[in-house]
Amino acid sequence: MNKITKALLGLVAVAGLTLTVAPGANATVLHTDVNYTGGVYGADNAPYTLGWIDDQATSVRNYGYNVRFFEYDYKLGLHFTSSADFNDLRSVGQKPGYNWDDDISSYQRW
Ligand SMILES: [Ca+2]
Ligand SMILES: [Ca+2]
C-alpha cells in the first residue's frame, strides 16, 4: 500500500468515526439550551423515553422531517407536530400559561 492510499484510508476511517459519534443530520437533535447549545441528544425516534434529556430540551432541529413531540413518555399527554427547527421552545405555546421548554418526554417521526 503506498503512502497516499494509506492517508486516504485514514481519512475515511476518521470520517466514519465522526459520523457514528455525532448525531447525524437525519436525526432529530435536541439541545438543553437555547440556540442549539448545551447538552445534545440525537435520535430518529424516541417513542418511549428521552433518557437523560427528558424534560430538558430547549431547542430542537428536525431537518425537515415531520416530528410529533409529546409531553410524557410513551407518546402520551399533549403533543405538537412540526418539521420546523425551534431555537427557543419557550416561545412555543402548549396549554394556557405553559410552553414546551423543558417538557418534551418522547417523540415520533411522522
Ligand atoms: Ca432546557
Ligand atoms: Ca415531560
Q: What is the pLDDT of residue 19?
A: 39
Q: What is the pLDDT of residue 82?
A: 97
pLDDT in tens, 47-99: 999 999 999 999 999 999 999 999 999 999 999 999 999 999 999 999 999 99
pLDDT in tens, 7-61: 555 554 544 444 344 555 679 999 999 999 999 999 999 999 999 999 999 999 9
R_g over Cα of the chain: 17
Query: Residue 55 sits in which domain range?
Result: 26-109
**Backbone phi and psi for residue 38, each to the nearest 5 degrees, phi listed first:** 85, -160
- Rounded Cα–Cα distance for residues 59 and 13 (Å): 31
User: What DSSP string describes 5-62?
Assistant: HHHHHHHHHHHHHHHHHSPPTTSEEEEEEGGGEEEEEEES-BSS--GGGTTT--EEE-
Q: How far, in Å, from the CA of 59 to the mean position of ligand 2?
A: 15
The CATH number of whichever domain residue 85 belongs to comes to 2.60.20.10
Overall domain count for the chain: 1
Q: Which ligand is nearest to the CA of 38?
A: 1
Domain presence at residue 93: yes
Domain presence at residue 91: yes
Domain presence at residue 97: yes
Q: Which ligand is nearest to the CA of 41?
A: 1
Q: What is the pLDDT of residue 110?
A: 82
Domain presence at residue 19: no
* The amino acid at 69: F
